[in-house]
């Protein structure tokens, strides 16, 4: 059952708004310089605000506009013959998908490297498009050929291939995926068709007689909103029962539709109004009407819901509406016949790969070897890679010795001796592995309480050693004679 339609407030303050619009248009006629497409410089900071990506059919281009400065920041010219129709963004904002009515492809654009874009081959030229909430599937509807043979292509964006085809029997106008990813809603000339994304089959068709155009879901998925061009209404669809539970009267030529991020407000354009109507999603009450000349069509909200951007294809500009006051705050030039736009949240910054580190632990043991002739102190130097994942490719340990006049004796590989010093270089130490090096200091026959001290310190490491607390060890010994040696 379709309940009675709520009637919008029709007071528009025409003279004041038109005067303001004329002044604003005059202020914005200065030419804009667009950046040439190409990879962004490595040291270029990420944009401070979300970017609006706008496609047009007249010139086959995709234009990026900074939503803070309202300035175009780049433009991509798609291949000759392209007729972009709709644009959708991956949930993480790292890829854009553009349907093409002029070629059997869906074009894939990386906003971070717009000069490098690819295409996924489809059955025919495409129009309707939607992306699954997890970003693993893209749905594109046929636009060319016999409507009775129309179908939906299911694309794997990672593989760049079509993985399934769903027969429809019509050429869809628009598409939207439910927040849980289970249902795909497609508008078509006679109504709204629901595709079960799990089975890849048509689950239901809801007749809508007013020439459905675009569709959008509420964030909680309980309702979908469908514009009906001929009747000038927004049909509110209860997604559980798949029935029309209410209608919001807007103006003739109802086209674009969007729902605020908090789900409390909806917006619909009316090409023949020409207006944007704001309404509460709970009651369907119209709360504001914004005049925006020149056949407003597609629209998109910034991720925080504070700005509503509207495509005005007839006069080559975008209208920016402040959603708190429902007033026009800007008109953005530098776009040509915009037919669709999307404003994804800026991609989260990608942390650079963690620099590999190997934590080396140094220990030193001392053992007295008394003898009447040839008494000595034997030392064992141990270096352990305490990391569980990273090998140490190189390390240097230096041992400072007291008395400094003595030269240690060693045959250990990678170790060199000098008066008062031993230097050992170790390579290829696997995670958890240890390497040992031995050396000795001679003890004089009559030492008379001579103190012997050795301090081993790691002085270099590749990769870096993150924990200096275990990089040094010391041992002390005392000798009265070559026969009486004590080590602590």
User: What is the reported pLDDT for 200?
Assistant: 96
In SS3 terms, 211-259 reads as: CEEEEEECCCCCEEEEEECCCCEEEEEECCCCEEEEEEECCCCEEEEEE
Give the Å distances, CA to CA, from 234 to 243, 269, 283, 356: 13, 10, 13, 56
Ranges of beta strands (E only) in 358-418 are: 360-369, 376-385, 394-402, 415-418
Residue 411 has pLDDT above 50, yes or no: yes
For residues 188 and 311, state if they share a domain.
Answer: yes
Are residues 325 and 388 located together in one domain of the fold?
A: no
Same domain, 195 and 283: yes
Last residue of a domain, one of 281, 308, 342: 342
Q: Is the per-residue pLDDT at 4 higher than 80?
A: no
Task: Classify residue 352: in a domain, yes or no.
Answer: no
CATH number at residue 131: 2.130.10.10
pLDDT in tens, 465-484: 998 999 999 999 999 999 99
Q: How many domains does the chain have?
A: 2
Q: What are phi and psi of 27, to 5 degrees?
A: -70, -20
Residues 167 and 302 occupy one common structural domain? yes
pLDDT band for 351, please (50, 70, 90 cuts): confident
Asked if residue 327 and residue 375 are part of one domain, the reply reads: no
Cβ 155 vs Cβ 137: under 8 Å:
yes
In a domain, 7, yes or no: no
Where is average pLDDT lowest: 122-126, 410-414, 481-485?
Answer: 481-485
**Average pLDDT estimate for 213-226:** 98
Task: Tell me which residue of 209, 302, 219, 199 sits closest to 247, measured CA to CA.
Answer: 209
**Total H helices, total E strands in the chain:** 1, 37
Do residue 374 and residue 319 come from a single domain? no
In a domain, 299, yes or no: yes
- Mean pLDDT, range 416-432, rounded to an integer: 95
Q: What is the largest CA-CA distance in the chain?
A: 115
The model carries a pTM of: 0.69
User: What integer pLDDT is reported at residue 207 of this predicted model?
Assistant: 96
Domain membership of residue 326 (yes or no) is: yes
Residues 373 and 330 in one domain: no
pLDDT in tens, 276-328: 999 999 999 999 999 987 789 999 999 999 999 999 998 899 999 999 999 99
41 found inside a domain: no
Mean of the pLDDT values across residues 403-422? 95
Residue 134 has pLDDT above 90, yes or no: yes
- Give yes or no for residue 32 having a pLDDT over 50: no
Give the Cα separation of 71 and 34 in Å (integer): 8
* Cα(439)–Cα(398) distance, integer angstroms: 12
Q: Tell me which of 117 and 149 has the higher pLDDT.
A: 149
> What is the overall mean pLDDT for the chain?
88
Residue 331, in any domain of the structure = yes
388 shares its domain with 285 = no
Comparing 36-45, 82-91, 99-108, 156-165, the range with the smallest average pLDDT is 36-45
Share of the chain above pLDDT 70, in %: 90
Does 16 score more than 60 pLDDT? Answer: no
Instruction: Find the mean pLDDT for residues 111-129.
Output: 90
Q: Is residue 348 part of a domain?
A: no
Last-in-domain residue among 342, 372, 398: 342
Provide the β-strand partners of residue 341.
54
Phi and psi at 22, nearest 5°, equal -65, -40
- DSSP state letter for 6: B
The reply to whether 317 and 374 lie within a common domain is no
Terminal alpha carbon distance of the chain: 94
Q: Is residue 281 part of a domain?
A: yes
Asked if 458 and 381 sit in the same domain, the reply is yes
Q: Decide which of 59 and 458 is more confident.
A: 458
219-233, 273-287, 352-366: segment of lowest average pLDDT: 352-366
* Pick from 49, 52, 47, 93: nearest CA to 341: 52
Q: How far apart are CA 53 and CA 63, in angstroms?
A: 6
Q: Which two tokens stand for residue 30?
A: 């200065």
pLDDT of 117 above 60:
yes
Query: 235-265: per-residue pLDDT in tens?
Result: 999 999 999 999 999 999 999 999 999 999 9
Domain that holds residue 381: 360-487
pLDDT, tens only, 198-211: 999 999 999 998 89
- 305/442 same-domain check: no
Boundary residue ending a domain (342, 377, 399): 342
- Asked if 129 and 216 sit in the same domain, the reply is yes
Of 75-79, 218-222, 291-295, 456-460, where does mean pLDDT reach its minimum?
291-295
**Residue 451: CATH number of its domain:** 2.60.40.740
pLDDT band of residue 399 (cuts 50, 70, 90) is: very high
């Amino acid at each position: 059952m379709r309940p009675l339609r709520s009637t919008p407030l029709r007071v528009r303050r025409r003279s004041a708004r038109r005067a303001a619009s004329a002044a604003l248009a005059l202020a914005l006629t200065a030419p804009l310089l667009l950046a040439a497409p190409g990879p962004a410089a490595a040291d270029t900071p990420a944009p401070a605000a979300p970017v609006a990506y706008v496609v047009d059919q007249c010139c086959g281009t995709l234009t990026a506009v900074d939503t803070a400065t309202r300035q175009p920041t780049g433009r991509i010219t798609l291949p000759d013959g392209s007729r972009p129709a709709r644009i959708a963004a991956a949930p993480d904002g790292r890829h854009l998908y553009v349907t093409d009515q002029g070629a059997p492809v869906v074009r894939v654009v990386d906003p971070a490297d717009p000069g490098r874009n690819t295409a996924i081959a489809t059955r025919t030229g495409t129009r309707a498009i939607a992306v699954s909430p997890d970003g693993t599937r893209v749905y594109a509807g046929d636009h060319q050929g016999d409507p009775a043979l129309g179908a939906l292509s299911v694309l794997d964006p990672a593989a760049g291939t079509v993985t399934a085809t769903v027969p429809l029997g019509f050429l869809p106008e628009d598409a939207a995926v439910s927040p849980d990813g289970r249902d795909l809603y497609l508008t078509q000339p006679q109504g709204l068709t629901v595709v079960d994304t799990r089975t890849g089959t048509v689950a239901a068709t809801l007749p809508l007689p007013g020439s459905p155009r675009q569709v959008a879901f509420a964030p909680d998925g309980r309702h979908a909103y469908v514009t009906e061009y001929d009747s000038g209404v927004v049909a509110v669809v209860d997604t559980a029962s798949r029935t029309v539970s209410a209608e919001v009267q807007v103006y003739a030529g109802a086209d674009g539709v969007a729902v605020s991020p908090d789900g409390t407000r909806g917006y619909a354009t009316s090409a023949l109004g020409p207006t944007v109507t704001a309404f509460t999603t709970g009651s369907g009450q119209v709360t504001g009407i914004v005049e925006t000349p020149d056949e407003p069509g597609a629209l998109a909200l910034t991720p925080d819901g504070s700005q509503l951007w509207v495509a005005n294809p007839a006069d080559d500009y975008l209208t920016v509406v402040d959603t708190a006051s429902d007033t026009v705050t800007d008109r953005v030039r530098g776009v040509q016949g915009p037919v669709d736009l999307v404003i994804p949240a800026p991609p989260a910054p990608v942390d650079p790969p963690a620099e590999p580190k190997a934590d080396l632990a140094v220990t030193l043991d001392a053992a007295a070897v008394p003898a009447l002739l040839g008494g000595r102190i034997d030392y064992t130097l141990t270096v352990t890679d305490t990391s569980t994942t990273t090998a140490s490719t190189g390390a240097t340990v230096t041992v400072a010795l007291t008395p400094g006049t003595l030269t240690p004796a060693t045959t250990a590989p990678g170790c060199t001796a000098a008066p008062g010093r031993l230097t050992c270089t170790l390579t290829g130490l696997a995670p958890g592995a240890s390497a040992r090096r031995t050396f000795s200091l001679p003890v004089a026959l009559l030492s008379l309480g001579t103190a012997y001290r050795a301090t081993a310190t790691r002085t270099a490491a590749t990769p870096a050693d993150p924990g200096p607390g275990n990089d040094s060890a010391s041992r002390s010994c005392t000798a009265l004679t070559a026969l009486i040696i004590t080590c602590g």
